[in-house]
Amino acid sequence: MRIAVFSNAYLPSISGVVNSITLFRKGLIAAGHEVHVFAPEYEEYEDEEPYIFRFPALDLSGQLDISIIVPIKNLLEPAVRGVKPALIHSQHPIWMGDLAVSLARALNIPLVFTFHTQYEKYVQQYTPIAPKLAGLITDEVIKRYLRNCEHVVVPTESIREMLAKDYDIERGVSIVPTPVDLVKFQDIQPENVRAKFGLDGKEVLLFVGRLAREKGLDMLLQAFTLIQELRPGVRLLLLGRGPYEGALKAKLAKLGLKDLVIFAGAVPHEEVPGYYAAADLFVFPSTTETQGLVIIEAMAAGLPVVAVRAPGSVDVLTEGGGVLTENKPELFAREVVDILAVSERQKELSDEARRAVQRYSISDATARMLNAYETTLESWENRGRGR
């Protein structure tokens, strides 16, 4: 099968969407399929892999994890026609997503869309004027986009339920969680990361993700303040970059905690497992996820998790490996301190995490995605659209 993947972001950009594309691409290629990625170009970056088609774009990856696409259909259509894909798989509902709709119609092939983001929540966070109105407009955009899709992929049951409730989408939906390359999390060593940041002998909390307001980082700082009162000297390691980094540093300075929080920045993905190995506990305050891939990565490293009870986190931690709290700093802090205080509890959660994460292997997730593709093609043919 030939699959055309349309995305507003791809390597070298680092994001959950990019990670999802690369992992599924790896699994699909291993299963004997061709995956052609259509994505923006990045200055001074050259692809080493085949079947990557790049086109002009304004890079906003530092702010939004996406690029503004120059939507030249006449440039893209000949390339897509040359591939002769069985279907188009869109990763975003705008820009490349719009082109995906147009080209799927032109080629008379089905369109699959992965619902990666709770778009309404993100838009409200970044719209200072009339955020609720912006959220309503975004909802209408998403509803219209979903009507153009033959099939929708969601990473969790929580998001499937949200689609049914908020968008009246109950049929043509598959739950396919983004996988983790479990091999990369075997036999990882923490020494280099701990030595680099002077963490030897310290208890370390780790957060991985974009440093953005919607990730719940204000609540995490409030909880960290309380943690220092209950368990002084604990360190917080933040792995990632984002638009909220400056504000976080200013708040930490005001709280007198800047020496206890380490901004590690963004690192190549192959180095990320070492950061999980260097920590004692993974903390995840976000309420805007569809899956929470970094939670799964933490579990793959055997790192216990404390997360806010929200879509994504709830789904991933169903079989153990961590604890869920309400979105309140005092409750979050108490769970962190209670786990750190009992080594046996840490060991129990670590063992649970390693067992539970096996269901997120690349091979299992790829099989689910292929089933979604086959279901899509079957429904397309049954409706007489492939003639």
Q: What pLDDT score does 268 carry?
A: 86
Q: What pLDDT score does 280 carry?
A: 98
Q: Are 68 and 212 within one domain? A: no
Q: Are 210 and 306 within one domain? A: yes
Report the CATH number at residue 23. 3.40.50.2000
Q: What pLDDT score does 69 carry?
A: 63
Range of the domain at 312: 182-360
Helices 343-356 and 329-341: crossing angle in degrees, nearest 10, is 100
Number of neighbours of residue 24 by Cβ within 10 angstroms: 25
Is 206 within the bounds of a domain? Answer: yes
Residue 73 has pLDDT above 90, yes or no: no
| 3 backbone dihedrals φ, ψ, rounded to 5° | -120, 130
Mean pLDDT of the chain: 92
Torsion region of 265: left, alpha or beta (phi above 0 gives left; psi -120 to 50 gives alpha): left
Is 259 within the bounds of a domain? Answer: yes
Q: Are 294 and 154 within one domain? A: no
Is 80 within the bounds of a domain? Answer: yes
pLDDT digit string, tens, across residues 228-246 = 999 999 999 999 999 999 9
Q: Are 254 and 310 within one domain? A: yes
Q: Up-side HSE of residue 65: CA atoms within 13 Å toward CB? A: 19
Q: What pLDDT score does 152 carry?
A: 98
Number of domains in the chain: 2
> What is the spatial distance between Cα 178 and Cα 19, in angstroms, rounded to a whole number?
8
> What is the spatial distance between Cα 85 and Cα 72, in angstroms, rounded to a whole number?
19
Residue 193 has pLDDT above 60, yes or no: yes
Q: What pLDDT score does 289 carry?
A: 94
Q: Are 150 and 270 within one domain? A: no
Written as six digits, the tokens of 261 are 């929080």
The answer to whether the CB of 271 falls within 8 A of the CB of 294 is no
pLDDT digit string, tens, across residues 9-35 = 899 888 889 999 999 999 999 999 999
Residue 256 has pLDDT above 70, yes or no: yes
The answer to whether the CB of 233 falls within 8 A of the CB of 259 is no
The DSSP line for 8-58 is S--TTS-SHHHHHHHHHHHHHHHTT-EEEEEEE--TT----SSSEEEE-EE
Q: Are 168 and 273 within one domain? A: no
Strands 235-239 and 111-114: unpaired
Q: Are 15 and 83 within one domain? A: yes
Q: Are 249 and 366 within one domain? A: no
Q: Are 333 and 208 within one domain? A: yes
The DSSP line for 162-206 is HHHHHH---SSEEE------GGGGSS---HHHHHHTT-TT--EEE
Written as six digits, the tokens of 253 are 């300075």
Give the predicted TM-score (pTM) of the model.
0.90
pLDDT digit string, tens, across residues 131-166 = 666 666 778 889 999 999 999 999 999 999 999 999
Is 387 within the bounds of a domain? Answer: no
